[in-house]
Structure formats: structure tokens, C-alpha cells
């Protein structure tokens, strides 16, 4: 798997559904560059079981992301129309109606390939024909991208394993704290807790206060 941390987030333009109902062409993360942080996450497929719990969980905490100047964007290999249909379906019926952040369509599989979260792969058979092996779906990849378009955190879960929105917000807080104060965040650090300077004296001071 590619490690994108410290590198520019792969660029793309694709169809997406925004505001829960509008299909737009040429959607790109470039619109956030210089303005907002981005949480860009992949999920395997529309109209499934774990996926709506994650997608709705991000929507339920959208105010927490917005207060931190973070845009949330989801993506799967489904069509934009499939996204739209799912967004019109009531949650009690397995839908995600009420979700307002953008959902990107990666039908070409190029975006999930660029972020290296595609479960399957393109190959050639014995006749030299282009074939696809495995599932044309994305693993549960999540990427935290800073305002300069650089990936600062990534995590990839297998398809049955849902992610933690709390942990995503904790990492945003840690990134923004280090950017503002120049200190580093130790294990399990949460907003409001003591951080430490990246020196031996700083570590010793942190441990003495901790214990």
C-alpha cells in the first residue's frame, strides 16, 4: 500500500452529489486548497450495511468538523446517480437522507487507485486482454489533508471494519495544535491536554507531570 503521508493528495475531477441532492461535474478537492482542511474518506458501496453507519456518523458530527474549518468528503466506486438515489432514501429504509457533505463518484476506479485503496486491480489475461481481478470497490480509506493539499494522516480498514469519527476529530485537533504551537502530541492526546516539546527535557517534563 502506498504511504501518502507527507505527499500532495492525488488530484482528480469527478461527478459528485453535493448538498444531498445536486449532481455536479468536475468536483475537485482543489476548491478547498488554501482555505480548509479536508477529511476525504472512501467506503465500499452504496446501499450496504456498515457504510451508512459511517456516513451518517460523519454527518451527525458535521458541526464539529465545520468548527475546525474541515470539509468532509466521501467517495465510492458507485455512480453519481446511485449516490443521489441513496441520498433520497429515508434512513429507516437503509438510506442516508439528510447527509449534506459531498459524495464523489469513482466509477472509473481511478481515484481509489490513485489513493491506493482499491480492493481489486487491473491485469492482463493469457490472451493479453485487459481484465479486472478482485472487487471493484474501495477499502475504508481515510485521508486528512491540510490546507496546502498535503496528506498528514491516513488509515485504511478492511471492508467489515467501521472507522471512529471521534478518532478522526482527535487527529484534526492534534494536527491543528502542532501547527499553532509547534509542540508534539503524545499517545492518546486530546484537545485541552498537555502536549510536549520535541526535546529530551520536554519529554521528561511531560512524563513527570503525567506520573
- Going from N- to C-terminal start, the domains of the chain cover 14-161, 164-211
State the number of CA atoms in the 13 A half-sphere of 15 facing the CB: 16
Domain at 14-161: CATH code: 3.40.30.10
Reduced to 3 states, what is the DSSP secondary structure of residue 163?
Answer: coil
CB atoms inside a 10 Å sphere around CB 56: 16
Question: d(Cα 26, Cα 13) in Å, to the nearest integer?
Answer: 5
C-alpha cell at 110: 481511478
pLDDT digits (tens, 9 = 90+) for 25-50: 999 999 999 999 999 999 999 998 88
State residue 134's pLDDT score.
79
- Mean pLDDT confidence for 78-104: 96
Lowest mean pLDDT among 22-26, 64-68, 177-181, 195-199: 195-199
**Per annotation, catalytic residue among 38, 51, 96, 103:** 51
Q: Who's near 124: CB < 8 A, 6+ residues apart?
A: 130, 131
State the number of CA atoms in the 13 A half-sphere of 12 facing the CB: 19
For a pLDDT cut of 90, what percent of the chain falls above it?
73
Question: d(Cα 183, Cα 202) in Å, to the nearest integer?
Answer: 9
* In the block, residue with C-alpha cell 503524545: 186
Q: Is 185 a catalytic residue?
A: no
Q: Work out the pLDDT band at 127, boundaries 50, 70, 90.
A: confident
Nearest CA among 121, 134, 146, 125 for reference residue 1: 121
State residue 191's pLDDT score.
84
Amino acid at each position: 500500500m502506498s504511504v501518502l503521508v507527507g505527499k500532495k493528495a492525488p488530484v482528480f475531477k469527478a461527478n459528485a452529489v453535493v448538498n444531498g441532492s445536486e449532481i455536479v461535474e468536475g468536483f475537485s478537492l482543489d476548491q478547498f486548497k488554501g482555505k480548509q482542511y479536508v477529511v476525504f474518506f472512501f467506503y465500499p458501496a452504496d446501499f450496504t450495511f456498515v457504510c451508512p453507519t459511517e456516513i451518517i456518523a460523519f454527518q451527525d458530527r458535521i458541526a464539529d468538523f465545520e468548527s475546525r474549518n474541515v470539509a468532509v468528503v466521501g467517495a465510492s466506486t458507485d455512480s453519481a446517480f446511485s449516490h443521489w438515489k441513496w441520498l433520497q432514501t429515508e434512513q429507516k429504509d437503509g438510506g442516508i437522507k439528510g447527509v449534506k457533505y459531498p459524495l464523489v463518484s469513482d466509477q472509473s476506479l481511478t481515484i481509489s487507485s490513485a489513493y491506493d485503496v482499491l480492493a481489486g486491480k487491473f491485469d492482463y489475461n493469457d490472451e493479453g486482454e485487459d481484465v479486472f481481478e478482485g472487487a471493484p470497490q474501495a477499502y475504508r480509506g481515510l485521508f486528512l489533508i491540510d490546507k496546502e493539499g498535503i496528506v498528514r494522516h491516513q488509515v485504511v480498514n478492511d471492508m467489515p471494519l467501521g472507522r471512529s469519527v471521534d478518532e478522526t476529530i482527535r487527529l484534526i485537533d492534534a494536527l491543528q495544535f502542532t501547527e499553532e504551537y509547534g509542540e508534539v502530541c503524545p499517545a492518546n492526546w486530546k484537545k485541552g491536554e498537555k502536549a510536549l516539546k520535541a526535546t529530551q527535557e520536554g519529554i521528561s517534563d511531560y512524563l513527570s507531570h503525567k506520573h
